[in-house]
Amino acid sequence: MAHGNVVIDGHVRIGPLCTISPFVTVGLDTGGPDSSIAGPTIGRNVFIGTGAKLLGPIRVGDNARIGANAVVLTDVPDNCTAVGVPARVLEHDGALGPVKKPGHAGE
């Protein structure tokens, strides 16, 4: 079984117990002259889905989940899930059950 490449820049900090899926890129935001030299800081027990990109001086909190192919350019709080391009944060209670979308009927 072939495994995809993972790219992690030298300016990145990754906490323990993280899962990084294939084809993930974690690194600097090289979008222009105002780009920071700092890379992402990833907390404890974070799951990063296949093909996700985490770029720039962002923080991904403890127990966060990053969806497949998400492009994360802003902070993700503890116990939250980020999905989409650009990624947006969906709040949840930190359990491994279904994610609850803010403002969704039934909350």
Q: Which domains does the chain have, with CATH numbers?
A: 1-92 (2.160.10.10)
Tell me the chain's radius of gyration from C-alpha atoms: 14
Q: Are 5 and 27 in contact (CB under 8 A)?
A: no
Q: 47-96 pLDDT, tens per residue?
A: 999 999 999 999 999 999 999 999 999 999 999 999 999 999 986 665 55
What type of residue is 84?
Answer: G
pTM (2 d.p.): 0.80
Q: Are 81 and 69 in contact (CB under 8 A)?
A: no
Q: 14-49 pLDDT, tens per residue?
A: 999 999 999 999 998 766 666 567 889 999 999 999
- Distance between CA atoms of residues 34 and 48, nearest Å: 27
